[in-house]
Amino acid sequence: MKLRLALAVLAGLGAAPAVAQVPAPDYAEARYWSTVASLPEGVVATKGLRGVDVLWIHPTTTRSPTDYNHDPLDPAVLKWTEESAVQRQASAFSACCRVFAPRYRAATTKALADPANREKAFALAYSDVERAFDWYMAHDNKGRPFIIAGHSQGGAHTTSLLEKRVKGTKLQDRMVAAYVIGINLMEGDLSPRLAGIPFCNTPAQTGCFVQWNAVLAGSDNGPMLKSYRGIFVAQNGGKDGGKALCVNPVTFDTRRRLSLSAEAKGAVAGDPGLGAMGPLKASAVAAECRDGLLTVWPAPSLGLKPLPGGSMHYHDVGLFWADISANAALRAKAWLKAHGSR
């Protein structure tokens, strides 16, 4: 499996230990699915548009010193996955869509830092995601249009689903869009890996995918970009991958790489963690796609901390929560209008 995660996914989100040799999830059982149970303070659930589904794939949520894949039902793992990933991230899609979020045996940070076991752990994690996708399609989708979205490790699994389950199939006609967040795909991924699934150039375009990976303004992006380029070359027999792909998640328009803070619809304040979200803060971040990375200038009042090297990986979704929500609704409406409301 192609693994283009580099430094971003190694950051993870959680801190709970994992349990080895856990059984494969049975996606016929409700306990292996998360639901969006909360929204930012003051945000009211929208009930007017539910004609589209979202399959949300959560990021790395376990820092384990011993295990390569986590037990998705371990209470500590589950609490962090739910409150710091599903509720704070997948909730951005709940304004437009029914959200389906599988609990899967995600690779841990131990696996991601271990070249000898990384691919095996990632393959196991992806096998769960693929089975969850197939179960959802067979039992819950019922011919509805859908979005696939994921962050970090979940973004990598999203890309694999596009490549292995959507590209060139009848499902592609029903895909509203895909949101690949917190990793870097390259121009070289557009073909042959994702041939026929274009990069989204405009906010209402459908049948395409978007991509961004946030870094703090003033950071030295050279090492990260070099890493992504090097990994692509190594995985593709020396082929150069070209430039990293990026869209500004405020404008969602490749012609408008820069957005001012006044344009940002609403960010989730504070570092990801346990507990309820506070209110959204509008006009709190400026952003610009530069060299394939999303450079951000967050307002100090957001209280967000970067990772080493200036990565804003923890905040790839939270910084743009309301912008993502509005864009998913826009694309859903565009698809339904073009294909007939369902």
pLDDT digits (tens, 9 = 90+) for 283-304: 999 999 999 999 999 999 999 9
So what's the pLDDT on residue 96? 87
Digit-coded pLDDT (tens) for 71-86: 999 999 999 999 989 9
**What's the CA gap between 327 and 316, in Å, rounded?**
15
So what's the pLDDT on residue 272? 86
Q: What is the mean pLDDT of the chain?
A: 90
Own/partner pairs, 74-81, CB within 8 angstroms, 24+ separation: 74/16, 74/17, 74/18, 74/19, 76/16, 76/17, 77/14, 77/16, 77/18, 78/103, 79/16, 79/274, 80/13, 80/14, 80/15, 80/16, 80/274, 81/14, 81/34
Q: Are 186 and 236 in contact (CB under 8 A)?
A: no
**What's the CA gap between 161 and 153, in Å, rounded?**
13
Threshold 0.75, pTM exceeds = yes
So what's the pLDDT on residue 239? 82
So what's the pLDDT on residue 17? 40
Higher pLDDT, 272 or 260: 260
Q: What percent of the chain has pLDDT over 90?
A: 75
Question: Average pLDDT, stretch 63-69?
Answer: 88
How many residues are there in the chain? 342
Digit-coded pLDDT (tens) for 202-252: 999 999 999 999 999 999 888 878 887 877 777 777 788 888 999 999 999
172-192 core/surface letters (b: 16 or more CB in 10 A; e: else)? eebbbbbbbbbbbbbebbbee
266 closest CA partner among 98, 83, 95: 95
pLDDT at 8 over 50: no
So what's the pLDDT on residue 20? 46
149 closest CA partner among 177, 183, 185, 191: 177
Phi/psi at 117 (nearest 5 deg)?
-120, -5
Question: Average pLDDT, stretch 129-139?
Answer: 98
**What's the CA gap between 196 and 311, in Å, rounded?**
31
pLDDT at 189 over 50: yes
Cis (ω within 30 of 0) for the bond into 192?
A: yes
Percentage helix, strand, coil for the chain under 3-state DSSP, each rounded to 5: 35, 20, 45
